[in-house]
């Protein structure tokens, strides 16, 4: 079974700083998807960024980028020029696209606080 581990329960940075959230996973699959989801205080989860394992290029979405190290099974999220609105729980997630229902396996989450 796949597992996802986020070793940082909480992080806090000042506005405009750069912060990196770590995530490691365990799988025997060679093709899969990795995600970072954000859960703001309002609770509705939204997708931040997606990475396909077969792509070597790291995904980027505006201020959000990932460092995908397939051999090390590491998938960290970097938030540049952090903003107050980035305050949220961040969940790393894994998906095996060949497994029937395409379920997401979530990590434990990292609570990120951006301070003014």
Partner 1 sequence: GAVVSQHPSWVICKSGTSVKIECRSLDFQATTMFWYRQFPKQSLMLMATSNEGSKATYEQGVEKDKFLINHASLTLSTLTVTSAHPEDSSFYICSARHSGRAPGELFFGEGSRLTVL
Which of 7, 60, 102, 115 is close enough to bind partner 1 by CB under 8 A?
Answer: 102
Q: Which long-range contacts (CB under 8 A, 24 or more apart) does 40-48 make?
A: 40/85, 40/87, 40/88, 41/87, 41/88, 45/91, 48/77, 48/90
Residues 36-75 as x/- pattern, contact with partner 1 by CB under 8 A? ------xxxxxx--x-------------------------
* Residues from 16 through 35 that contact partner 1 (CB under 8 A): 33, 35
In the bound state with partner 1, the residue whose beta carbon lies nearer, of 83 and 99, is 99
In the bound state with partner 1, the residue whose beta carbon lies nearer, of 83 and 102, is 102
CA torsion, ordered 17, 23, 29, 31, to nearest 10 deg: -10
- What residue ranges bind partner 1 (CB under 8 A)? 33, 35, 42-47, 50, 91, 93, 95, 97, 101-109, 111
């Amino acid at each position: 079974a796949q597992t996802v581990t986020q070793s940082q329960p909480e992080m806090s940075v000042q506005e405009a700083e750069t912060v990196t959230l770590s995530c490691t996973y365990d799988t025997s699959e060679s093709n899969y998807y990795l995600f970072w989801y954000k859960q703001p205080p309002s609770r509705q989860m939204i997708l931040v960024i997606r990475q396909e394992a077969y792509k070597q290029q790291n995904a980027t979405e505006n201020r959000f980028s990932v460092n995908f190290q397939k051999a090390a099974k590491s998938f960290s999220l970097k938030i540049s020029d952090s903003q107050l609105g980035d305050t949220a729980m961040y969940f790393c997630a894994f998906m095996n696209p060949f497994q029937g229902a395409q379920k997401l396996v979530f990590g434990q989450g990292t609570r990120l606080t951006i301070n003014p």
